[in-house]
Chains A and B, each alone.
Chain A
Amino acid sequence: GENVEQHPSTLSVQEGDSAVIKCTYSDSASNYFPWYKQELGKRPQLIIDIRSNVGEKKDQRIAVTLNKTAKHFSLHITETQPEDSAVYFCAASPNPQNFVFGPGTRLTVLP
Chain B
Amino acid sequence: GAVVSQHPSWVICKSGTSVKIECRSLDFQATTMFWYRQFPKQSLMLMATSNEGSKATYEQGVEKDKFLINHASLTLSTLTVTSAHPEDSSFYICSAIGRRVETQYFGPGTRLLVL
A43 within 8 Å of B by Cβ?
yes
Beta-carbon nearest neighbor of B97 in chain A: A96
Contact A42–B43 (Cβ < 8 Å): no
- Shortest Cβ gap from A26 to chain B (Å): 16
CB contacts under 8 Å to A, within B1-37, are 1, 32, 34
Determine the interface band of chain B, counting residues with CB < 8 A from chain A: 20 to 34
Give min CB distance, A81 to chain B, whole Å: 21
The CA of A49 and the CA of B44, in the complex, are separated in Å by 18
- Interface of B, helix, strand, loop or mixed by DSSP: strand
Interface assignment of B90: CB less than 8 Å from any CB of chain A: no
**A 24-63 to B, binary, CB cutoff 8 A, 1 in contact else 0:** 0000000010101000011111100100000000000000
Given contacts A44-B93, A89-B43, whether A96 and B106 have CB atoms under 8 Å apart is: no
Residues of chain A at interface, number, CB under 8 A: 19
Docked-complex contact A96 and B43, CB < 8 angstroms: no
Q: A97–B32 contact, CB under 8 A?
A: yes
Question: Hey, which chain B residues are within 8 Å of A101, CB to CB?
Answer: 43-44
B67 proximal to A (CB < 8 A)? no
Q: How far is the CB of A12 from chain B (nearest CB, A)?
A: 16
* CB closest residue in chain B, given A6: B43
Contact with A along B61-104 (1 / 0, CB 8 A): 00000000000000000000000000000010100010000111
Contact of B105 among A42, A46, A89 (CB under 8 A): A46
Closest residue of A by beta carbon distance from B101: A96
Contact present for A42 and B44 (CB under 8 Å) = no
Closest to A51 in B: B102
A96 touches B108 (CB 8 A): no
B49 and A46: CB pair below 8 A? Answer: no
Can you name 10 A-B residue pairings with CB atoms under 8 Å?
A: A32-B103, A36-B106, A41-B91, A43-B107, A44-B93, A46-B103, A96-B103, A99-B34, A102-B43, A103-B42
